[in-house]
């Protein structure tokens, strides 16, 4: 029982490390200028290390000191977590464009007629050769960390499960394994909650005092302390790893030899029920992989939420919903003592209902906000960038400090709105911008407030969350019955091997390509890219409707596949 307790704790903290990246992915994209395709690849890269080793490890399982190897794997996982946070400490402070001169820069992005073009000193400053090298170093460190995370995780689940199954009584084993599986579902939920808490702090909380930072976490330039969660989670892993070095080895009852590896493999893969159920699970996993990686980003963009709030919703609503579904599916199985045919009927029914609730989601969303020169042009067909109103301002090309005009149009910077003066709060945060020549408003010229205008359809947010949570509950009812279909339809002695192959196929066909596929689809809907040193960095504005259709459309496609 102490082993089960330790293992639950270890799995929870391991999932904190791997799940936390997904909760802070939109923040890391913004901080280091990554496209969604790159961040999707990063998120799925831990599966690479994992897949390479999982089959070998499952085979050697009974010949090694399992607890000790679990402990070593856990130490690797914590090392990976600390490495993930390292880029924060080797790069300089986060830089963003601002209107008010501060201790960091004396530049401004207000309209200053007659001044030389301000582009050179705003964003180009970070274009020295060391800046692009720094960026490569950051990516390298993160990819290495993700690979290590996968390698360390290899021993944790299979060895823990087989160790418990070997030494627990036949009657208690399912209970213990049930406890562990529920922990693996709670883990990502806790990770998103941790993300929600950490992203409320400013990224450079250790380098600058909060008083010097004029941003709030609602500002589009805000970057939260993404690295802090990795330190918390990794420290937890280290603590959970210690007891494993003191558990006994205790050889299991019978050592298994690798006889007829190819025969067993072919026998399983030729089994129609096994193959079809695994393919259905591949579809569901591909859907979940994209969901888990980019759902936060989707909510932020569609409904103008802060990263912190988006994580809160996923951790407190969507993931518990999936847990409820898994439990309900298992309960129905137990209550009605279902046959294999009834199991498959339950899976089909769950997916059908899921399709019906997920379809309306494609239409619940917000139009893209009007952004001058990006999604909105005035009556002459020109963006405000090209018209006379801000021509004399000589705005920097790359400046990004969005303001919302009193005319309901968003501008990429106060300069592009033609604003020439700024009013400041006593605490040195910006109150509003006035004398904006591009904004038609009451009086001689309009005014603008800092921050984006938002997509302005918060009333659709609650129905969206309710429906997506419901779809998740319905889809996850098929989790337990589909496992039963696999376990009961293959020969008893092939069981652990078949489950090993199943997990490997899920990784190779779903968890690895899934996030990259979703990321690439999201990138195709970008309207305005940030440029860093002539390379495409993170996306500033998406076409909201296309983003929703392609992101949720992919998800729907996989749900139909599973059905």
Residues 328 and 475 in one domain: yes
pLDDT at position 251 is 46
What is the chain's Cα-based Rg?
26
Residues 196 and 90 in one domain: yes
Residues 62 and 166 in one domain: yes
* CATH at 517: 1.20.1250.20
- Residue 124 within any structural domain of the chain: no
- Residue 103 within any structural domain of the chain: no
- Residue 116 within any structural domain of the chain: no
- Residue 17 within any structural domain of the chain: yes
Q: Which of 426, 450, 474 is the last residue of a domain?
A: 450
Task: Judge contact between 54 and 557, C-beta under 8 A.
Answer: no
Q: Which of 399, 424, 450 is the last residue of a domain?
A: 450
Residues 232 and 281 in one domain: no
pLDDT at position 385 is 45
- Residue 268 within any structural domain of the chain: yes
- Tens digit of pLDDT per residue, the chain (563 long)? 888 899 999 999 999 998 999 999 999 998 988 999 999 999 999 888 888 787 777 666 667 788 999 999 999 999 999 999 999 998 888 887 776 554 444 456 777 766 555 444 444 445 666 666 778 889 999 999 999 999 998 888 778 877 877 777 766 766 777 778 778 778 888 999 999 999 999 999 888 887 777 777 788 888 999 999 999 999 999 999 999 999 887 744 445 455 566 676 777 777 888 899 999 999 999 998 888 899 999 999 999 888 899 999 999 898 889 888 888 888 888 888 888 899 999 999 999 999 999 999 999 888 888 888 888 776 544 444 445 677 778 777 777 888 888 888 888 888 888 888 888 777 667 778 888 888 876 655 678 888 888 777 888 999 999 999 999 999 999 988 888 888 788 777 777 677 778 888 888 899 999 999 999 999 999 998 888 877 788 898 999 999 999 999 999 999 999 99
Residues 250 and 270 in one domain: no
**Domain span at 135:** 1-95+130-254
Q: Which of 400, 418, 450 is the last residue of a domain?
A: 450
**Cα separation, 533 vs 135, whole angstroms:** 11
Helix (H, G, I), strand (E, B) or coil at 238: helix
Total domains in the fold of the chain: 3
- Residue 377 within any structural domain of the chain: no
Residues 420 and 530 in one domain: no
Please state the φ and ψ torsions of residue 433, each to the nearest 5 degrees: -110, 140
Residues 399 and 445 in one domain: yes
Helix (H, G, I), strand (E, B) or coil at 98: coil
pLDDT at position 59 is 64
End-to-end CA distance of the chain: 39
pLDDT at position 420 is 81
pLDDT at position 454 is 79
Give the residue among 117, 108, 64 at the shortest CA–CA distance from 249: 64
Beta-bridge partners for 450: 403
Written as one string, the DSSP assignment of 282-302 is HHHHHHHHHHHHHHHHHHHHH
pLDDT at position 381 is 47
Residues 436 and 316 in one domain: no
Residues 439 and 467 in one domain: no
Residues 156 and 51 in one domain: yes
pLDDT at position 126 is 54
Structure tokens at 372: 């001058």
- Residue 506 within any structural domain of the chain: yes
Written as one string, the DSSP assignment of 120-182 is HHHTGGGGSHHHHHHHHHHHHHHHHHHHHHHHHHHHHHHHHHHHHHHHS-TTTHHHHHHHHHH
**Cα separation, 365 vs 460, whole angstroms:** 7
- Residue 10 within any structural domain of the chain: yes
Task: Judge contact between 480 and 5, C-beta under 8 A.
Answer: no
Residues 279 and 397 in one domain: no
Q: What is the pTM of this model?
A: 0.82
Residues 502 and 538 in one domain: yes
Beta-bridge partners for 532: 535
Give the CB-side neighbour count of residue 507, counting CA atoms within 13 A. 20
pLDDT at position 336 is 85
């Amino acid at each position: 029982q102490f082993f089960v307790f330790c293992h639950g704790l270890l799995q929870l903290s391991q999932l904190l490390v791997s799940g936390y990246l997904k909760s802070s992915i939109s923040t890391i994209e913004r901080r280091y200028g990554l496209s969604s395709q790159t961040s999707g690849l990063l998120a799925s890269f831990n599966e690479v290390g994992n897949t390479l080793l999982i089959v070998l490890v499952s085979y050697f399982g009974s010949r090694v000191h399992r607890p000790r190897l679990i402990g070593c794997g856990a130490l690797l996982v914590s090392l990976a977590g600390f490495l993930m946070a390292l880029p924060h400490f080797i790069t300089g402070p986060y830089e963003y464009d601002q209107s008010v001169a501060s201790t960091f820069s004396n530049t401004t992005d207000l309209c200053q007629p007659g001044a030389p073009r301000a582009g050179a000193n705003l964003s180009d400053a970070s274009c020295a050769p060391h800046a692009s090298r720094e960026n490569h170093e950051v990516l390298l460190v993160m990819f290495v960390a993700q690979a290590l995370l996968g390698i360390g995780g290899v021993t944790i689940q299979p060895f823990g499960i087989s160790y418990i199954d070997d030494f627990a009584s036949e009657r208690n084993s399912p209970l213990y394994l049930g406890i562990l599986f529920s922990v693996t579902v709670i883990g990502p939920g806790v990770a998103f909650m941790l993300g929600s808490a950490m992203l409320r702090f400013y990224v450079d909380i250790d380098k600058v005092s909060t008083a010097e930072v004029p941003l709030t976490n609602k500002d589009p330039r805000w970057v939260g302390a993404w690295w802090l969660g990795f330190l918390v989670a990794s420290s937890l892993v280290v603590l959970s790893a210690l007891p494993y070095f003191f558990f006994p080895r205790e050889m299991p009852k019978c050592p298994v030899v690798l006889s007829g590896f190819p025969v067993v493999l072919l026998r399983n893969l030729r089994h129609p029920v096994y193959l079809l159920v695994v393919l259905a699970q591949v579809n569901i996993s591909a859907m979940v992989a994209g969901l888990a990686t980019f759902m936060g980003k989707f909510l932020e963009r569609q409904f103008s939420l802060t990263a912190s709030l988006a994580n809160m919703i996923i951790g407190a609503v969507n993931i518990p919903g999936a847990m409820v579904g898994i439990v309900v599916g298992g309960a129905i199985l137990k209550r009605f003592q279902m046959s294999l045919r009834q199991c498959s009927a339950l899976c089909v029914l769950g997916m059908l209902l899921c399709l019906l609730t997920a379809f309306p989601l494609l239409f619940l969303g917000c139009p893209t906000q009007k952004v001058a020169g990006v999604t909105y042009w005035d009556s002459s067909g020109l963006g405000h960038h090209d018209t006379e109103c801000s021509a004399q301002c000589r705005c920097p090309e790359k400046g990004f400090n969005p303001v919302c005009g009193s005319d309901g149009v968003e501008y990429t910077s106060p300069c592009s709105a033609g604003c020439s003066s700024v009013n400041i709060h006593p605490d040195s945060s910006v109150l509003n911008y006035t004398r904006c020549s591009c904004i038609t408003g009451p009086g001689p010229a309009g005014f603008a407030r800092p921050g984006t205008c938002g997509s302005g359809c918060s009333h659709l947010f609650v129905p969206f969350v309710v429906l997506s949570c419901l779809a998740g509950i319905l889809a996850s009812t098929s989790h337990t019955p589909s496992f039963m279909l696999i376990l009961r339809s293959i020969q008893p002695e092939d069981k652990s091997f078949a489950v090993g192959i199943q997990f490997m196929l899920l990784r190779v066909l779903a968890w690895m390509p899934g996030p990259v596929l979703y990321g690439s689809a999201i990138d195709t809907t970008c309207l305005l890219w940030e440029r860093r040193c002539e390379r495409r960095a993170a996306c500033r504005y998406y076409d909201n409707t296309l983003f929703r259709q392609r992101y949720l459309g992919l998800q729907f496609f996989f749900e139909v596949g599973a059905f």
